[in-house]
Amino acid sequence: MNTEKAKRVLRSIRKIPHKHFVLHGSLTRSNTVLLRRPNVRFKKRKELHQKGIYATSLTEIAIMYATLENSIVWKYMLKKKEICILHKITNDTEKSTLNVYNGYIHVCRRHTFNQGGPLISFSKRPARVVRTFKISHEVLLYLWDKKDIKFVPEFGKTRDKPTAT
């Protein structure tokens, strides 16, 4: 995928009326999003630790879930309208880069979900997918180049651009 294609994919996703739809990022494609335990623990939101479906209205967050590996430790934060990915750096990973993959964004109807906050919507029942976008790892890298998202190590060290696997 080249830069122009990445831009087209982003424009298409951003045109989705978030008043009616939410985005669910995943490494796997599905016609129905099924319930599962979350990879992320929300310190202040204990109700979001339960089995369910988690979705968002923010395109960048959905792209991160669609392209970043589930087994690594990462989280995101909003900082003055800037999305930062915090990647836990250890001695083993300090020299390597964050691996990104190709994945999917599933678009689901909002009425299936309870609003969990400005970033997160939650459903306790399976959600039918009304549209799917294939997300190349290059979309995440394009957002990084554009400075729409920023990779920040938790310990304040600078971070090289992530690479695809």
Q: How many domains does the chain have?
A: 1
Residue 164 in any domain: the answer is no
Residue 165 in any domain: the answer is no
Residue 35 in any domain: the answer is yes
Segments forming the whole domain that contains residue 48: 3-159
Residue 18 in any domain: the answer is yes
pTM of the predicted protein model: 0.78
Residue 49 in any domain: the answer is yes
Query: 121 vs 106, which has greater pLDDT?
Result: 106
Mean of per-residue pLDDT scores for the chain: 76
Residue 99 in any domain: the answer is yes
- Look up residue 8 and give its two tokens: 């087209």
> What is the tens place of the pLDDT at every residue in 137-146?
888 888 877 7
Q: Decide if pLDDT at 29 tops 60.
A: yes
